[in-house]
Amino acid sequence: MYDLCMHITDKDRQLISALKQNGRIPISDLARKLGIARTTAQKRLNQLEAKGVIQGYTVKLADDNLTGLFQAYVNLVVEPHSSVGVAHALEKIPQVEALFTVSGKIDFVAIVGVSSPAELDAILDQICVLPGVRDTRSALVLTSKFDRR
């Protein structure tokens, strides 16, 4: 279990922001960018990792036009008391890359990655018949203007 009660400083936020832009930035460049000693930057990075604030590093793919992949946001409304079951069922669908609970009239937003609109249609058919799913609305991502994740 992670201890997320760690105090996040402005330097930590700057460090995290720099890593979001380039997760492979050398620690010496990171320290220089933040105006702190290399050892201080390394120590703080280690603490952020140990406390679970930074949980990993990932590959960021090129724009969908270059990769041939499509992404869609699927809003789901579920029956009362069905959230856990629906979440477990969605977790088993490999094309569902992420699932978020949200406030408002919808219960979940799923990010779905597919290779074609036809594949998205098939995944939506799969999602719609899950026990507890009352309604879905989807939006295909056309382009990404920016993504700081």
| Domains contained in the chain, CATH given | 1-60 (1.10.10.10), 64-140 (3.30.70.920)
pLDDT value of residue 149: 64
pLDDT value of residue 65: 52
Q: Which of 65, 42, 26 is nearest to 144 (CA)?
A: 65
Q: Which residues of the chain have pLDDT under 50?
A: 1-2
DSSP string, 55-122: ------PPPHHHHT-EEEEEEEEE-TT-HHHHHHHHHT-TTEEEEEE-SSS-SEEEEEEESSHHHHHH
State the first-to-last Cα distance of the chain, in angstroms, to the nearest integer. Answer: 23
Supply the Cα-derived Rg of the chain in whole angstroms: 19
Q: What are phi and psi of 36, to 5 degrees?
A: -130, 165
pLDDT value of residue 1: 43
Please give the distance of CA 63 from its chain centroid, rounded to a whole number.
16
pLDDT value of residue 61: 62
Q: Tell me the pTM.
A: 0.63
Under 8 Å CB-to-CB from 138, ≥6 apart: which residues? 72, 73, 74, 75, 112, 120, 124
**Strand partners for 138:** 74
